Structure 1
Amino acid sequence: MIHNLSQKLTTTFIHHRIIDAEDREIYIYSFELLLSAVINLAVVVLLICLTGQVWGGVSFVLAFLVLRQSAGGYHASSHFFCILSFTVIFSVFLAVIIFLPPLYYLPVILGALTIGIPVIVRTAPVAHENKPLTGAECARLSHLAKLTVVVLTALIMTGWYLVPWNAASVGAALGLLTVALSSLAALYQKRKRA
């Protein structure tokens, strides 16, 4: 569906001479990425509106997106599976926030950080096979991932200290944990293929 729509958009842009025909494949791929991101965002907004978990949902997504940029992680085999897997992960997160009594937020935060931080520090960046990294890029992203983890951890703990029982801190901590688990899944996938 996303691929077909991307092809139609590209064909329309070529027909109206907005883009050159020789750049067709680049634009098809770019439209696929854009449409996938828009659909993911729409799903997140819809689920946040349905559950009312604004602070927890937004902090989860922000922590996930910011850290994922430098840490890398698992990539689904298609845009459909990417959207489906993120929807499932985000839904599970929202269920945890909704059904977990706030009394248990701090243990969940500490557990997520205890598992997530060492995994990211040891594995980041996890590059995708279609986009290998040079040594300099790898070193820069590793440093950036570690710095991001430190800043996120400071924000999470400061947020918890200032506003205990708020879902924002647990959301960010679980976003960090999700990136760590995504990194482990990507490494497992690489070893399985080797």
Structure 2
Amino acid sequence: MIFELSKKISAYLIENGADHEEEEVLTYGAECFLNLLISDGFLLVIGLFTHHVVPLLIWAVSFSLLRANLGGLHALSYFWCILIGTVIGASSMAVSPVLAVHPVAAVLCTVAGAIIAIAIAPVPHKNKMYLQARRKNIKVKVAITAAIECVMICVIYFVDPMYAAYIACGLIMAVVLGIAGTIWNPR
């Protein structure tokens, strides 16, 4: 369903002036957009039902900022990608309160996560080998992102420890997917 809709979107864009030679790129971009829209839509619904919209949005920003450069596990289908993403986001509602009540454990996990993220970035995948040529630049981006998130956790902790825990959880969950991708992604 997502692929067919993506093809229609790219065809529409080409009919309205996009370069025909970019059809594959447009289709892939539409697939990514639709996948993200569905996953985030499910998280938004979960957030509405559980009254955790703001914390889930905080988690999603933290998670997405790191994952965008780190990379991670790539699911075998859109269904699995959406399911795994939704489960990981929803599980942050269970993990974050634990991190908020145990700040020492949260700091240790966050610092370990940041170090691991820098060490494994970018996560290899057979369809993304071009990223390996920019490995140093990506590691710098991951290091900067992780550092900013760690500073934000420290600052926000004094305002609201729960929000700080959601940021920490986003970083940790992105690293968990990065480790999983390092192990299971096809090479």
Q: TM-score range by the shorter chain?
A: 0.7 to 0.9
Q: Does residue 159 of structure 2 align to residue 163 of structure 1?
A: yes
Give the corresponding residue for 1:189.
184
Tell me how large the CA RMSD over aligned residues is.
2.5
Contact 2:100 2:162 in 1 (8 A): no
Give, in whole Å, the separation in 2 of the partners of 1:4 and 1:103.
43
Give, in whole Å, the separation in 1 of the partners of 2:36 and 2:162.
25
Distance verdict in 2 for CA 1:87–1:108, change over 3 Å: farther
Once the two structures are TM-superposed, the CA of residue 12 in structure 1 deviates from its matched residue by: 5.0
Once the two structures are TM-superposed, the CA of residue 89 in structure 1 deviates from its matched residue by: 0.7
- If the length of structure 2 is used for normalisation, what is the TM-score? 0.85
Any idea what the Cα deviations from partners look like across 1:58-103, whole Å, max 9, x if unmatched?
A: 2211111111122121111222211110001111112334xx4686
Distance verdict in 2 for CA 1:151–1:27, change over 3 Å: closer
129-138 or 145-154, which deviates more: 129-138
Give, in whole Å, the separation in 2 of the partners of 1:136 and 1:150.
23
Give, in whole Å, the separation in 2 of the partners of 1:85 and 1:33.
15
**Structure exhibiting the larger radius of gyration computed from Cα positions:** 1
The residue type paired with residue 3 of structure 2 is H
The residue type paired with residue 128 of structure 1 is H
Give the corresponding residue for 2:86.
87
Moved over 6 A (4+): none
Alignment of 1:72-83 (within 5 A): 72-83=71-82
Any idea what the Cα deviations from partners look like across 1:32-76, whole Å, max 9, x if unmatched?
A: 112112112212221221112234212211111111122121111
Q: Among all aligned residue pairs of Structure 1 and Structure 2, give the percentage whose two residues are the same amino acid.
A: 25
One of 178, 186, 190 as aligned partner of 2:173: 178
Give the corresponding residue for 1:30.
29
- What SS does structure 2 have at the residue aligned with 1:131? helix
Give the corresponding residue for 2:151.
154
Give the corresponding residue for 1:138.
135
Unaligned 5+ runs, structure 2: none
Any idea what the Cα deviations from partners look like across 1:108-157, whole Å, max 9, x if unmatched?
A: 52243143122112111213321213665110010111111111111101
- What SS does structure 1 have at the residue aligned with 2:130? coil
Give, in whole Å, the separation in 2 of the partners of 1:103 and 1:94.
11
Unaligned 5+ runs, structure 1: none
Distance verdict in 2 for CA 1:171–1:108, change over 3 Å: farther
- What SS does structure 2 have at the residue aligned with 1:132? helix
The residue type paired with residue 41 of structure 1 is D
- If the length of structure 1 is used for normalisation, what is the TM-score? 0.82
Give, in whole Å, the separation in 2 of the partners of 1:120 and 1:101.
22
Contact 2:58 2:166 in 1 (8 A): yes
Alignment of 1:40-119 (within 5 A): 40-97=39-96, 100=97, 104-119=101-116
Give, in whole Å, the separation in 2 of the partners of 1:43 and 1:83.
9
Once the two structures are TM-superposed, the CA of residue 181 in structure 1 deviates from its matched residue by: 1.0
